[in-house]
Amino acid sequence: MSIDLPIRKIIHVDMDAFYASVEQMDNPKLKGKPIAVGGGGKRGVVSAASYEARKFGVKSAMAGNLAQKLCPEIIFVRPNFERYSEISKRIRAIFFDYTDLVEPLSLDEAYLDVTKNKKGNPSASLIAKEIRDRILNEVGLTASAGISINKFIAKIASDYNKPNGQKTVNPEEVLEFLEQLDIRKFYGVGKVTAEKMYQKGIFTGLDLKQKSLEYLDKNFGKSGRYYYYVVRGIHNSEVKPHRIRKSLAAERTFSENLSSEVFMLEKLEHIAQEVSKRLNKSKVAGKTVTLKIKYSDFTLQTRSKTLPYFINDKAIILETAKDLLYQEKLNNSVRLLGISLSNLNTEKKKKPVEKEAISVQLKFEF
């Protein structure tokens, strides 16, 4: 077996209820109260919920009226993304005091590779604690962290002791940790896949580990190989400071449901304009146009078309979106439309995953 597996110390930092926590920090009257960032009522959607609201079952992407039913005392706050971005930049500045290998996933989470760090500290766990303390003292917010040998395990670990905690999965603990893990905790296993795994008797990492590569390929397609390796602690994805954008999108939720394609054309034109503007600003183009349709009953449908050439022009994006809109009859009235462009000219072909031993990694001190 190969012993060429890269030796890494990875931290995943995840801010606690970030949007809601920023609002509570900026408005002391909201501290300790159940709040939801987003819109209430029939048309609103929850973007983020404070921990006080989560106790009642309120969560992101939930309809505002349902959140209100679950938590009658909930307070809705309009999102302020400029403020969230400002705070996020301050937090990332702290990360860069420790390493230049910082890969942001969103405004509120990031991976850090501290294998070689600017502080010369050999302990990734102590670095994570120091970073969390600095975020609390310098910014005023709490963060949680996961620390382990790769991004996959670090991300799972960061959710263990939330809020305001951290978990280290030491090299010698990796295999046992993954074997005991509920399959729903595996990053990359969604609700539908979890149900499919349950039906096949796969409930834990150990159950998954007992399935052959051939079995997983047959039953889970391209993802089967990914599951085969990650449950063995093999995940070689590097922390990429400059993540390659894979798609670019814009969408709109309407104040009233739209029941006819005719009424949607003007909306699509504005959305296509926004997508084109963002593409040109980022100096990228794409081949695959996807139309996102969310119906009044909250069911979601996507329709895609791949062109033989790269585009970023509003007119072509709009015409393709129109074709997709008329591709088939709408199932219901529509509350949201979105257009995204993927298969961008920034993407590189992925190398196939190679089987590598983790024997060296398991001897590495944390």
- CA dihedral sign, ordered 334, 43, 51, 16: positive
How much is the average pLDDT of 3-29? Answer: 89
Tell me whether residue 71 is exposed, middle or buried, using C-beta atoms within 10 angstroms of its C-beta: 0 to 12, 13 to 18, 19 or more.
buried
Place of tokens 């000219």: 345
Q: Flag whether pLDDT at 265 surpasses 80.
A: yes
Tell me the sheet residues that pair with 15.
Answer: 143
Higher pLDDT, 174 or 190: 174
How much is the average pLDDT of 204-212? Answer: 95
**pLDDT at residue 230 in the model:** 93
Higher pLDDT, 277 or 244: 277
Q: Which among 23, 109, 274, 356 is annotated as catalytic?
A: 109
**pLDDT at residue 365 in the model:** 58
Share of the chain above pLDDT 90, in %: 73
The per-residue DSSP string of 279-345 comes to HHHHT--EEEEEEEEEETT--EEEEEEEEEEEE--HHHHHHHHHHHHTTS--SS-EEEEEEEEEEET
Is 176 annotated as catalytic?
A: no
pLDDT band at 354, cuts 50/70/90?
Answer: very low
**pLDDT at residue 186 in the model:** 92
pLDDT band at 357, cuts 50/70/90?
Answer: very low
Flag whether the pTM goes above 0.85. Answer: no
**pLDDT at residue 356 in the model:** 47
Q: Flag whether pLDDT at 314 surpasses 60.
A: yes
Q: Flag whether pLDDT at 311 surpasses 90.
A: yes
Q: Flag whether pLDDT at 353 surpasses 50.
A: no
Q: Flag whether pLDDT at 1 surpasses 50.
A: no
Per-residue pLDDT tens over the stretch 125-150: 999 999 999 999 999 999 999 999 99
Per-residue pLDDT tens over the stretch 68-83: 999 999 999 998 988 9
Q: Flag whether pLDDT at 31 surpasses 90.
A: yes
**pLDDT at residue 285 in the model:** 93
Per-residue pLDDT tens over the stretch 159-187: 999 999 999 999 999 999 999 999 999 98
CA distance 167 to 241: 23
Tell me whether residue 238 is exposed, middle or buried, using C-beta atoms within 10 angstroms of its C-beta: 0 to 12, 13 to 18, 19 or more.
middle
CA distance 223 to 26: 43
How much is the average pLDDT of 287-310? Answer: 93
Q: Which of 81, 85, 87, 79 is nearest to 135 (CA)?
A: 87
How much is the average pLDDT of 24-42? Answer: 91
How much is the average pLDDT of 218-241? Answer: 91
Q: Flag whether pLDDT at 231 surpasses 60.
A: yes
**pLDDT at residue 359 in the model:** 47
**pLDDT at residue 72 in the model:** 95
**pLDDT at residue 281 in the model:** 87
**pLDDT at residue 132 in the model:** 98
